[in-house]
Chain A
Amino acid sequence: MARRAPIVVGSIAVLVLVLTVAIFQAGCSSSPEPADPARPTVVLYSVTDRETSQELIDRFEDETGIRVEAKFDTEAAKAVGLVQAIRQEKANPRCDVLWGGGSFFHAMLADDGCLAPAPADLIKAHGTAPQDTQGRWLGFAAAYRVLIVNTDVFGPQTRPRSYRDLTDPRYKGHVGIANPLFGGMAAHVAALFQVLGPERARRWLSDLKANDCALCGGMADVTKRVASGELWFGITSTIDAHVAVDDGKPVAIVFPDQEPGEIGCMEGFSSVALVAGGPHPKEAERFLRFLMSTKTEEILAAGPAQTVGLLPESVARDVRPPWIPSQIQVMDVDWAGAAKIYPESTKAIKEILLGR
Chain B
Amino acid sequence: MRTPPRSLVAAAILLAFAVVLSPILAALFGTGLQAREVAAAFDGIAGPLGGSANSALASALVALILGVPFALLVERSRAGLRRVSWTLGLLVLMMPPYIVSEAAVVLLGPAGKIARPAATLLGFGPRSTDPIAVARFTIPGFVYSWPAVGVVMGGCLFPVVALAVASAYRRTDHRVFESARLAQGMRGVYRIGACVLVPPALGAALLVFALTLTEFAVPQLLRVRTVGEAAYERIQEGDVAVAAALSLPLVPVVVAAGALGAFILMRSRVASLAGLEGEVPKFTGQRLGRMGHLAAGLATLLAITPALILPCVSLGWLAATARMSQSAMRGRHKLLRTSGILNSFRGAWELAHDDAIRTVLLAAIAATLATLFAIALARLASRVGWGPLLGVLGAGVAVPAPIVGLGLITLWNRGAGAAVYQSSAIVLLAWLARFFPVAVFLAQGALARVPQELENAAALAGRGPVERFVAVVLPNAAPGLVAAWLAIYVLSATEYGATVLISPPGKPLLAPSVMNFMRRGQDPEIAACQILLLGVIALPLALIALALVLRSRIGPVAKGSS
Q: Shortest beta-carbon distance, B180 to chain A, in Å?
A: 26
Query: Which one of A121-129, A135-143, A179-187, A257-265 is at the interface?
Result: A179-187
Does A63 make an interface contact (CB < 8 A)?
no
B240 and A49 contacting across the interface, CB-CB below 8 Å: no
B517 x A19 contact (CB < 8 A):
no
Mostly helix, strand, loop or mixed at chain B's interface?
helix
A216 vs B143: C-alpha distance in the bound complex, in angstroms? Answer: 13
Residues of B within 8 A of A58 (CB): 331-333
Which chain A residue has the least Cβ–Cβ distance from B46? A356
Question: Are B516 and A49 in touch, CB under 8 angstroms?
Answer: yes
Instruction: Say if the beta carbon of B547 comes within 8 Å of chain A.
Output: yes
A228 and B106 form a contact (CB under 8 A): yes
Taking the closest CB of chain B, its distance from the CB of A235, in whole angstroms, is: 16
Q: Say yes or no for A120: interface residue by CB 8 A criterion.
A: no
Least CB distance from B471 to A in Å reads: 8
| Interface membership of A89, Cβ < 8 A | yes
Cβ distance A159 to chain B, nearest Cβ, rounded Å? 12
Contact B547 A304 (CB under 8 A): no
Contact across chains for A247 and B521 when beta carbons are under 8 A apart: yes
Q: Which of B7-15, B294-302, B499-507 contacts A (4 or more CB under 8 A)?
A: B499-507
Task: Tell whether A6 pairs with B555 under 8 Å between CB atoms, given A14-B543, A72-B516, A220-B519.
Answer: yes
Q: Contact at A1–B323, with CB atoms within 8 Å? A: no
Question: Which residues of A are found within 8 Å of B475, using beta-carbon distances?
Answer: 1, 4-5, 7-8
A186 to B238 CA separation, bound complex (whole angstroms): 14
- Which residue of B has the minimal Cβ distance to A58? B331
Give Cα A191 to B135, complex, Å: 34
Residues 389-405 of B contacting A (Cβ, < 8 Å): 402, 405
Contact with B along A215-238 (1 / 0, CB 8 A): 111101101110011101000000
B519 lies within 8 A of A49 (CB): yes
Which of chain A's residues 1-23 have a Cβ closer than 8 Å to chain B? 1-8, 10-11, 13-15, 17-19, 22-23
Task: Determine whether the beta carbon of A302 is less than 8 Å from that of B135.
Answer: no
CB within 8 Å for A3 and B561 given contacts A18-B540, A23-B361, A49-B519 = yes
Q: How far is the CA of A354 from the CA of B51 in the complex (A)?
A: 13
Q: What chain B residues lie within 8 Å of A54 (beta carbons)?
A: 331-333
Residue B275 at the A interface, CB < 8 A?
yes
Chain B residues lying within 8 Å of A18, measured Cβ to Cβ, are 360, 364, 539-540, 543
B331 touches A19 (CB 8 A): no
Q: Is the CB of A73 within 8 A of B500?
A: yes
CB-based contact A55/B329 at 8 Å: yes
Chain A residue at smallest Cβ distance from B327? A304
**With the chains together, A50 CA to B516 CA distance in Å?**
7
Inter-subunit contact B221/A304 (CB<8 Å): no
Question: Hey, which chain B residues are within 8 Å of A32, CB to CB?
Answer: 332
Collect the chain B residues with CB atoms within 8 Å of residue A68's CB.
Answer: 506
Determine how close the nearest CB of chain B comes to the CB of A338; give it in whole angstroms. 15
A326 within 8 A of B: no
Is A157 interfacial (CB 8 A cutoff)?
A: no
Judging by beta carbons under 8 Å apart, are B135 and A229 in contact?
yes
A247-B325 in contact (CB<8A):
yes
CA distance A76 to B357 in the complex (A): 24
Any chain A CB within 8 A of the CB of B336? Answer: yes
Q: Is the CB of A44 within 8 A of B505?
A: yes
Chain B residues within an 8 Å CB radius of A304: 328-329, 336, 520
Instruction: List residues 230-253 of chain A with CB under 8 A from any CB of chain B.
Output: 230, 232, 240, 243-244, 246-248, 250
| A228 touching B413 in the complex, CB below 8 Å, given contacts A5-B475, A54-B331 | no
Across the interface, name the chain A residue whose C-beta is closest to B136. A153
Contacting residues of chain A (45-83) with chain B, CB-CB under 8 angstroms: 45, 49-51, 54-55, 58-59, 67-82
A230, B354: Cβ atoms under 8 Å? Answer: no
CA distance A240 to B236 in the complex (A): 23
Q: Is B478 an interface residue (CB 8 A)?
A: yes
Q: Is the CB of A179 within 8 A of B220?
A: yes
Q: A11 touches which one: B354, B410, B478, B512 (CB < 8 A)?
A: B478
Q: Of B206-214, B227-235, B459-467, which binds chain A?
A: B227-235
Q: How many residues of A contact B (CB 8 A)?
A: 102
- Number of B residues whose C-beta is below 8 Å from A? 101
Given A84-B402, A112-B238, does the pair A51, B233 have CB atoms closer than 8 Å? no
- Residues of A close to B425: CB separation below 8 A: none
Q: Is B22 an interface residue (CB 8 A)?
A: no
CB neighbours of B519 from chain A (8 A):
49, 74-76, 218, 220, 240
**Any B CB within 8 A of the CB of A327:** no
Asked whether any CB of chain A lies closer than 8 Å to the CB of B256, the reply is no
Which residue from chain A places its CB closest to the CB of B279 in the assembled complex? A3
Q: Which of A17, A228, A230, A248 is B543 in contact with, Cβ under 8 Å?
A: A17
Known: A74-B519, A76-B217, A94-B422. A303 touches B328 (CB 8 A): yes
Instruction: Please name all residues of chain B whose beta carbon is closer than 8 Å to the beta carbon of A23 when the two chains form the complex.
Output: 361
Q: Are A30 and B410 in contact (CB under 8 A)?
A: no
User: By the criterion CB–CB under 8 Å, are A243 and B520 in contact?
Assistant: yes
Residues of A within 8 A of B513 (CB): 50, 72
A15-B368, A346-B237 known; A70-B505 Cβ under 8 A: yes
Q: Does A85 sit at the interface, judged by CB under 8 A?
A: yes
**Closest-CB distance, B300 to chain A (whole angstroms):** 22
Is the CB–CB distance between B520 and A7 below 8 Å? no
Q: Does B521 lie within 8 Å of A80, measured CB to CB?
A: no
Contact A92 B414 (CB under 8 A): yes
Chain B residues with Cβ below 8 Å from A229 are 111, 135-136, 138
Using A19-B364, A70-B506 as known contacts, say yes or no to A13 and B547 having CB atoms under 8 A apart.
Answer: yes
* B541 nearest in chain A by CB position: A14
The CA of A89 and the CA of B502, in the complex, are separated in Å by 11
Query: Is A350's CB within 8 Å of the partner chain B?
Result: yes
Partner of B331, one of A59, A84, A232: A59
Residues of A within 8 A of B504 (CB): 69, 71
User: For residue A35, which residues in chain B have a CB less than 8 angstroms away from its CB?
Assistant: 506
B413, A89: Cβ atoms closer than 8 Å: yes
A80 touches B236 (CB 8 A): yes
- CB contacts (< 8 Å) of B418 on chain A: these are 92
> Could you tell me the distance in whole angstroms from the C-beta of A355 to the nearest C-beta in chain B?
8
Determine if A88 is an interface residue (Cβ-Cβ < 8 Å).
Answer: yes
Q: Return B323 CB to nearest CB of chain A, in Å.
A: 4
Please tell me which one of the listed residues A15, A80, A346 contacts residue B235 in the complex, with CB atoms under 8 A apart.
A80
**What is the bound-complex CA distance between A125 and B474, given in angstroms?**
69
B65 at interface by CB-CB < 8 Å: no
CB proximity of B141 to chain A, nearest CB, Å? 8
Known: A58-B332, A182-B236; 8 extra A-B contacts, CB below 8 A, are: A19-B365, A19-B368, A49-B516, A54-B333, A85-B409, A88-B409, A243-B521, A247-B521
In the A-B complex, the 8 residue pairs with the smallest Cβ-Cβ separation, listed nearest first, are A69-B506, A152-B135, A356-B44, A22-B361, A230-B111, A69-B505, A248-B323, A10-B547
Ordered by A's residue number, 26 sampled pairs between the chains whose C-beta atoms are within 8 Å are A1-B278, A1-B475, A3-B561, A14-B543, A29-B357, A55-B330, A59-B331, A69-B506, A72-B512, A72-B516, A81-B500, A85-B406, A85-B501, A89-B413, A94-B505, A150-B135, A153-B132, A154-B132, A181-B233, A182-B232, A230-B138, A230-B141, A243-B520, A248-B323, A304-B328, A346-B237
A residues touching B (Cβ–Cβ < 8 Å)? 1-8, 10-11, 13-15, 17-19, 22-23, 25-26, 29-32, 35, 43-45, 49-51, 54-55, 58-59, 67-82, 84-85, 87-89, 91-92, 94-95, 108, 112, 150, 152-155, 174, 179, 181-182, 186, 214-218, 220-221, 223-225, 228-230, 232, 240, 243-244, 246-248, 250, 302-304, 343, 346, 350, 354-356
